[in-house]
Amino acid sequence: MDDILDYIKSFGLSGTTIRKQIISFLWGDGVALTQKEIEERLPGDSDRVTLYRTLKLFTEKGIVHKIVIDEATQKYKLAGRFRKSDHAHFYCIQCHKILCMPQLNVDLKGLPTGFLFQSSRVVVEGICDFCASKQKV
């Protein structure tokens, strides 16, 4: 928990209990959870509004990415070294792991004259290498 506390403090935030819990749930390569999944892991007396506000704060500070998978599913993932969420993400349809793919760029050359780019949400769906290797066995 010391690493998590240091991580939170590195963004100029205090390490409240709920902040530490949320980061601990998201700690790990490819871990991404919906707000509901995070809520289910919190103790029963946790406040839903505090969770919502904390996720919003973490998104604004660049601590987590809010990744829109589809109309009904939004997942949160630690941003790691990629602070902005304006890059593609790979979503494994089997294990639900999400990986940042900043090497995939959105080509903005075809943007019509006068249009101003704000952000992009690109989610590449498929099967990750681990799940694919299990299928070959």
Residue 108 CA to residue 121 CA, distance in Å, equals 13
Question: What is the phi/psi pair of residue 46, to 5°?
Answer: -75, 145
pLDDT on residue 36: 94
pLDDT tens for the 137 residues of the chain, in order: 678 999 999 999 999 999 999 999 998 877 889 999 999 999 988 889 999 999 999 999 989 988 888 888 889 988 865 555 567 888 898 988 888 787 787 777 888 889 988 777 788 899 999 999 988 65
- Read out DSSP for 112-135? PTT--------EEEE--HHHHHHH
pLDDT on residue 58: 95
- The reply to whether CATH 1.10.10.10 applies to domain 2-136 is yes
CB proximity list for 32: less than 8 A, separation 6 or greater: 26, 67, 75, 76, 77, 96, 97, 98
Give which of 117, 122, 116, 74 is closest to 102, Cα–Cα.
Answer: 122
What would you report as the CA-atom Rg of the chain, rounded to the nearest whole angstrom? 17
Sequence ranges of the domains in the chain = 2-136
